[in-house]
């Protein structure tokens, strides 16, 4: 058997119809990396008067995952693949049509109750012809997207059901486009009203971050409700929803101080605009647009950056009753279905 060289590892995902019911992983990811850990909640037991454990038994069987946007070379969010975690975190919408073949995916952070659209879960296969493993019921629980002039990356957490080894990876998957977001693609704007979103560019932003985490957890009832000793279903949590910008401590940057003192809501847009879609849709561009309503939620440190005095503004993403949103994310790409 050939060695399991890391450079040959593939990651494939398939959209599940029912949470935890395995399906073929028929989509091959291009800029996505998962590091899975098989969790077994092992319980050692020693008898009375014995110094060593006699048995070590698995009490729970599940998988935790750290994921990031990374291929064999380079690290970038993909205009194509970003919809996969977003469809779990915000619910899976039906995409709109852009031009002839383009698609527009709109993700709306829920203000009350569950997401308006079904929560996407996935069956995952990871490996190569020599050896592979799989797990069903993958649910993304958080995403953090970070932009600098060098690039735009994302990281997050997920969980799944049991990790099975020695499987045969699904043949002939659909290969998703290698479609990276570059550091040259993004712009940040800040405006006083939702109606003006995207109007006033902040020209001295050096780094930005959008984060939506702690969204779901595993539910563990007794009485063997769940099969295979794994969790039964997911449960929604109170998410942590924040953003951050690092910019020059000039007049535009100093607005953060007056906003904090007055409790002002500002409307930020993190807009990544890429290459045009292929013909006949060249009039439209690949895009990841993140709109938020934010209030300053922490102290504002002044630091010596790249030969400039910089300040870092931390934001709480908040519900705006006029806009009737907290965050609205739109991805424009060629993905017709997950």
Tens digit of pLDDT for each residue in 198-212?
999 999 999 999 999
Q: How far apart are CA 177 and CA 78, in angstroms?
A: 8
Q: Which of 63, 300, 304 has its CA nearest to residue 163?
A: 63
- 322 has a pLDDT exceeding 90: yes
Tell the burial category of 72 from Cβ atoms under 10 Å away from its Cβ (0-12, 13-18, 19+): exposed
The fraction of the chain above a pLDDT of 70, given in percent, is 98
Those residues whose C-beta lies under 8 Å from the C-beta of residue 224, and which sit 6 or more positions away, are none
The pLDDT of residue 222 is 85
Q: Which long-range contacts (CB under 8 A, 24 or more apart) does 23-27 make?
A: 23/123, 23/136, 24/123, 24/170, 25/122, 25/123, 25/124, 25/125, 25/134, 25/169, 25/170, 25/173, 26/170, 26/173, 26/174, 27/173, 27/174, 27/176, 27/338
Q: What is the pLDDT of residues 167-204, one digit of tens each?
A: 999 999 999 999 999 999 999 999 999 999 999 999 99
Q: What is the pLDDT of residues 218-248, one digit of tens each?
A: 999 886 766 788 999 999 999 999 999 999 9
Q: How far apart are CA 25 and CA 6, in angstroms?
A: 20
Q: How far apart are CA 292 and CA 245, in angstroms?
A: 13
Winning range, highest mean pLDDT, from 53-57, 211-215, 303-307: 211-215
Residue 120: pLDDT band (50, 70, 90) is very high
Q: How far apart are CA 328 and CA 216, in angstroms?
A: 19
Residue 251: pLDDT band (50, 70, 90) is very high
Flag whether the pTM goes above 0.85. yes
Cα 300 to the center of its chain, rounded Å: 26
How far, CA to CA in Å, does 298 sit from each of 103, 163, 242, 261, 267? 37, 40, 11, 11, 17
Q: How far apart are CA 204 and CA 245, in angstroms?
A: 10
Task: Give the residue-averaged pLDDT of 252-268.
Answer: 94
Q: Which residues pair with 68 in a beta bridge?
A: 33, 155
For 169-232, the DSSP string reads PPSSPEEPP--BPPTTSEEEEEESSGGGTT-SB-TTEEEEEEEEE--EEEE--STT-SGGG---
Residue matched to tokens 């009753």: 321
Q: Report residue 218: phi and psi, to 5°.
A: -85, 145
* Mean pLDDT of the chain, nearest integer: 95
Checking DSSP bridges between strand 132-140 and strand 122-127, what pairing results, if any?
antiparallel
Q: How far apart are CA 86 and CA 205, in angstroms?
A: 25
Residue 111: pLDDT band (50, 70, 90) is very high
């Amino acid at each position: 058997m050939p060695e399991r060289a890391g450079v040959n590892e593939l990651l494939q995902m398939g959209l599940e119809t029912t949470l935890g019911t395995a399906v073929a992983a028929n989509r091959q990811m291009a800029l996505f990396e998962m590091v899975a850990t098989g969790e077994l909640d092992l319980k050692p037991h020693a008898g009375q008067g014995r110094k060593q454990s006699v048995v070590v038994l698995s009490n729970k069987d599940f998988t935790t995952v750290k994921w990031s946007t990374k291929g064999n070379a380079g690290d970038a969010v993909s205009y194509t693949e970003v919809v996969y975690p977003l469809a779990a975190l915000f619910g899976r919408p039906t995409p709109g049509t852009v031009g002839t073949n383009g698609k527009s995916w709109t993700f709306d952070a829920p203000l009350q109750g569950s997401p308006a659209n079904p929560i996407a879960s996935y069956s995952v296969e990871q490996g190569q012809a020599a050896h592979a493993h799989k797990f069903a019921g993958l649910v993304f629980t958080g995403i953090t997207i970070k932009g600098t002039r060098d690039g735009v990356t994302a990281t997050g957490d997920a969980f799944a059901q049991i990790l099975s080894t020695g499987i045969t990876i699904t043949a002939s998957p659909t290969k998703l486009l290698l479609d990276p977001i570059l550091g040259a693609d993004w712009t940040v704007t800040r405006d006083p009203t939702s109606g003006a979103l995207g109007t006033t560019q902040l020209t001295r932003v050096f780094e930005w971050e959008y984060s939506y985490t702690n969204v779901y957890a595993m539910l563990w009832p007794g009485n063997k409700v769940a099969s295979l000793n794994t969790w039964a279903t997911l449960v929604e949590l109170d998410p942590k929803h924040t953003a951050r910008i690092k910019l020059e401590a000039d007049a535009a940057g100093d607005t953060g101080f007056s906003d904090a003192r007055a409790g002002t809501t500002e409307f930020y847009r993190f807009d990544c605009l890429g290459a045009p879609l292929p013909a006949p849709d060249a009039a439209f561009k690949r895009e990841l647009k993140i709109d938020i309503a934010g209030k300053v939620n922490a102290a504002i440190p002044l630091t010596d950056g790249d030969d400039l005095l910089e300040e870092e503004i931390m934001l709480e993403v908040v519900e705006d009753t006029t806009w009737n949103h907290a965050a609205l994310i739109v991805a424009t790409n060629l993905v017709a279905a997950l």
